[in-house]
Structure 1
């Protein structure tokens, strides 16, 4: 049984002008998500700027999210690190706070071998009893979980249950799902590939788009999961210009600006990320207007 099916939001973390976490706006964003049909909340991932949080701050945000959601939807904590021991410690703490699962990115910079990835994910999963979703995003980490590795882990480690696939490599994903034969829950890590990955047997998306369009992203997934691919395809096509605009600069730069247009004061980004350029801000605003999110 999947931790969730449908659209899980890779939720942004609002900051105050002094770059501290803006918990009032974060709670507002959480409530907006739940009110608009988000199927799960993934906290402290890439979009949540976990890379520039201290470990203490990271886990305070996770704890806050779990408490505010209060079991209304699953909360999955981003606990990945390029240090296996750090990932273990974060995962144990997330479980203690009541997380429904953890999302662990492949070790970045280290460039682990496939054997190293097996050892890394196995060690994390064996340290906790809640489900683990692996996160494969080679463009950011320089490390790729090959199909055979992902399937080996799913078949041999009982609580490794899923993978967020942001490879953009449909051939690799197809091979992985063929080898998995149903043992691995697949989530699209790219908002422009929700339909293709669900067609391959996926169960949903971990989404940036959901931050500003939670109901619409949920509906794309729901239609596809119901087998109504024509309706799902039309909804996916309609969202493509906005999805493109949300990635006109590196995530989460555009989505934090986009949130301000829908009433969430997401605040500044932490260095080394910088504010969106004026040129791209106009592109983003126009896409949101055309999608009907702002007037």
Structure 2
């Protein structure tokens, strides 16, 4: 299956039962719901999927669940991250054997260092598989910053590196990468509250977070931004939807983004707020403030023109 990067691809959350085991039945339902809303793929086991709290065996079980739920409809592109390079390589090969269509490759958890070591890590994963690779650059979270010239070097030396998820929160990175390597890589926005600006700068897709609770709104926002970028529409409808959505999209950019997005899912009736430790659910003022923001959005979305 060829991956179409030009759309909304959720970084899907992981659903937990009351005992914090994985709720595979709901996870499969969630996968189908997102695809039914127009999403073009799924990225399980990433940061938003709480990949750091999942065992290797659980990750493979989640991947297999996603493949069984939607694998004939859209590509499944799991996040590949680990404390060690050896385990990351094993996960990549296991995901390929399971039938995945691509991989999102992250730097290692915890250990962040210089370019030589980070290059060796991601290249070991890339060269362990024939699948197309999406490189995930998220310096705020992983303390490793793949600079545009380093991304260009990786692309020149690794033919299966085909895309980059840019989450540095600096929209100028999109134009910098494009200036170095032209159309060689697809560039996707990985920070929710930068999607419109990122697309105007030349990004083609969105690895999205709030889509887990608001898929139709996310898909509509993406298509409106695409139409404005290509001159097919004016900004009025895009600006109205973006203004409504921004208080929610900003929840994707803070340390407790997993808790916030899962709370939003709970409030729209599509999931629950449970997270695995060391994360804890929101409480007191932070919970009330988040609820107030989400509730305000829910009360004012009826007037939006959503496809």
Question: Do they superpose with TM above 0.5?
Answer: yes
- 1:74 aligned residue: 75
Q: Distance in 2 between matches of 1:249 and 1:284?
A: 14
Q: Distance in 2 between matches of 1:123 and 1:214?
A: 34
Q: Distance in 1 between matches of 2:169 and 2:114?
A: 20
More contact order relative to length (CA 8 Å, sep ≥ 6): 1
- SS of 1:99's partner is coil
The alpha-carbon deviation at position 107 of structure 1 amounts to 2.4
Identify if the C-alpha distance between structure 1 residues 229 and 191 changes in structure 2 by more than 3 Å, giving closer, same or farther: farther
| Structure 2 counterparts to residues 144-163 of structure 1, below 5 A | 144-163=145-164
Deviation string, structure 1 residues 134-192 (Cα, Å, up to 9, x no partner)? 11111111111011110111122111111111101233343222112111111111011
- Checking the alignment, whether the CA contact within 8 Å between 1:102 and 1:132 is kept in structure 2 is yes
The alpha-carbon deviation at position 36 of structure 1 amounts to 1.2
Q: Distance in 2 between matches of 1:81 and 1:245?
A: 25
Identify if the C-alpha distance between structure 1 residues 150 and 161 changes in structure 2 by more than 3 Å, giving closer, same or farther: same
- Checking the alignment, whether the CA contact within 8 Å between 2:107 and 2:142 is kept in structure 1 is yes
Return 285-294 or 13-22, whichever deviates more. Answer: 285-294
| Structure 2 counterparts to residues 37-52 of structure 1, below 5 A | 37-52=38-53
- 1:244 aligned residue: 250
Identify which of 281, 284, 287 aligns with 2:293.
Answer: 287
Q: Distance in 2 between matches of 1:108 and 1:177?
A: 28
- 2:305 aligned residue: none
TM-score (norm 1): 0.93
- 1:97 aligned residue: 98
The alpha-carbon deviation at position 2 of structure 1 amounts to 5.5
Pairing 1:266–2:263 present? no
Pairing 1:60–2:57 present? no
Stretches of structure 1 that go unaligned for 5 or more consecutive residues are: none
State the aligned residue count: 295
- Checking the alignment, whether the CA contact within 8 Å between 2:186 and 2:203 is kept in structure 1 is yes
Q: Distance in 2 between matches of 1:161 and 1:224?
A: 23
Deviation string, structure 1 residues 118-140 (Cα, Å, up to 9, x no partner)? 22222211111111111111111
The alpha-carbon deviation at position 81 of structure 1 amounts to 2.3
Q: Distance in 2 between matches of 1:267 and 1:248?
A: 16
Stretches of structure 2 that go unaligned for 5 or more consecutive residues are: 303-307
- Checking the alignment, whether the CA contact within 8 Å between 1:8 and 1:207 is kept in structure 2 is yes
Identify if the C-alpha distance between structure 1 residues 174 and 246 changes in structure 2 by more than 3 Å, giving closer, same or farther: closer
- SS of 2:42's partner is strand
- RMSD of the TM alignment (CA)? 2.0
